[in-house]
Amino acid sequence: MRILVVCAAGASSTFVAQRLRTAAHAEGLAWSATAGTEDSLGVDVDAVDLVLIGPHLAPRAAEFAEMAARHGAALAALPEDIFTDLSGRRTLALVRTTLGLDAPSER
C-alpha cells in the first residue's frame, strides 16, 4: 500500500506521513507513506494507492478525488484534529476504513 499525505506546503503532511508509517509498521504492514504538496499532487498521484488530504484542503475534496480516481487511487480528507494523533493509529484506522480493510484482530 502506497499512501500520499498532501498539504499545502508539505510540512504538516510530513509529520502525519511519518506517524502513519510508524503505526503501519508496528502492525506488521509493509506500507509506505510519503508527504506531498497540493502543487505536486498531479504528478505524485501516479505512484500511490491512496491520497490523504489535509483538513484545510477538504473544501476541494471532490476535485482531488476525481483526479485520484483517474489515476486509480482512492482519496480521503483528514479530520481537523489529525495533528493530535501522535501515534498515527487513528490515521491508520482512517486508511483501513477508507479502503474497506478489516482492522487487526484483538490480541
User: Which tops the pLDDT comparison, 68 or 11?
Assistant: 68
Number of structural domains the chain divides into: 1
Q: What is the CATH number of the domain that holds 27?
A: 3.40.50.2300
Contact 33, 21 (CB under 8 A): yes
Encode pLDDT of 28-61 as tens digits.
Answer: 999 999 999 999 998 999 999 999 999 999 999 9
Domain holding 43, by residue range, is: 2-99
Locus of grid cell 510530513: 14
Q: What is the pLDDT of residue 104?
A: 57
In a domain, 105, yes or no: no
DSSP state, residue 27: T
Q: Taking the CB of residue 11, how many other CB atoms lie within 10 A of it? A: 10
In a domain, 104, yes or no: no
Question: Is the entire prediction scored with pTM above 0.85?
Answer: yes
In a domain, 106, yes or no: no
Encode pLDDT of 81-107 as tens digits.
Answer: 998 999 999 999 999 999 998 765 443
In a domain, 71, yes or no: yes
H-only helix segments in the chain: 11-26, 41-44, 61-70, 89-99
Q: What is the pLDDT of residue 102?
A: 74
Cell of 27: 502492525
Contact 55, 79 (CB under 8 A): yes
Average pLDDT value for residue range 7-23: 90
- Amino acid found at 22: T
